[in-house]
Amino acid sequence: MTYCYHVCICLFLIILQTTVMPYIPLFHGFYDLLTPFFIYLCIFRPLRESMPVILFFGFVMEAISGGTFGLYLTTYMWLFIGVRWIITFLHVGNNPLLPFVVVAAVLMENFIFVGSNVIFEPGLRFTSEMSITIGVQVFWAIFTGPMFLMFFNYSFGKWDKRVKEISTRKVGR
């Protein structure tokens, strides 16, 4: 049931990002919505739960995106390693630190994507439009990233509670 929650949330975020948000001009420069969810998985959920979800949806993102195969998987893998490493010495579950974690993740994702474009596309230069895109993403990440994380934490708590209630009722019968 836990995996069911993760799959539903990831699908919802992908649909929101690829189908709903392109219709709203305000959100044209929004960052990858799976990033805060994967950060949530790394911080708050155990390894055996987070790793398969990150790998599976990393692969789904590879399939629906036009980038070189491996970019999303690379980004999510390093995100996973980075956040897991940070939580060994920093208590990032604290709310004041969450915006910085999301911003760092968004910057890392952009660094990998732009870096790969610059490396593999001869003649491609880092333009002002690129820095604006990254700036807008960082702006959104600072304000909305922690809200997403808190929402995921809250909704999973509710989901878990509900599932436990149902299973207790079944056992009681």
**CA distances to 64, 122, 150, 162 from 61, in Å:** 5, 25, 24, 30
Q: Which residue among 11, 47, 90, 147 contacts another protein (CB under 8 A)?
A: 11
Per CB under 8 A, contacts with another protein among 94-133 are: 110, 113-114, 116-117, 119-121, 124, 127, 129-130, 133
Interacting span for another protein (CB under 8 A) from 41-49, 71-79, 98-106, 153-161: 71-79
Spatial separation of the C-alpha atoms in residues 14 and 20, rounded to whole Å: 9
Q: Is 135 in the site for another protein (CB under 8 A)?
A: no
CB of 58 to another protein, least distance (A): 10
User: Positive or negative CA dihedral for 158, 151, 17, 114?
Assistant: negative
With contact defined as beta carbons under 8 Å apart, do 53 and 42 qualify? no
**Which stretches within the chain are classed as H helix?**
2-15, 34-44, 47-64, 71-89, 98-120, 128-172
Given the complex with another protein, which of 67 and 93 has the nearer CB atom?
67
Cα angle 79, 29, 71; round to 5: 35
CB of 171 to another protein, least distance (A): 33
Tokens (6 digits) for 92: 């990032």
In the three-class reduction of DSSP (H, G, I as helix; E, B as strand; rest coil), residue 16 is classed as helix
Q: Which residue among 26, 48, 63, 169 contacts another protein (CB under 8 A)?
A: 63
In the three-class reduction of DSSP (H, G, I as helix; E, B as strand; rest coil), residue 93 is classed as coil
Given the complex with another protein, which of 46 and 121 has the nearer CB atom?
121
Given the complex with another protein, which of 25 and 172 has the nearer CB atom?
25
Residues that bind another protein (CB under 8 A): 11, 14-15, 17-20, 22-23, 28-29, 32, 34, 59-71, 74, 77, 110, 113-114, 116-117, 119-121, 124, 127, 129-130, 133, 137
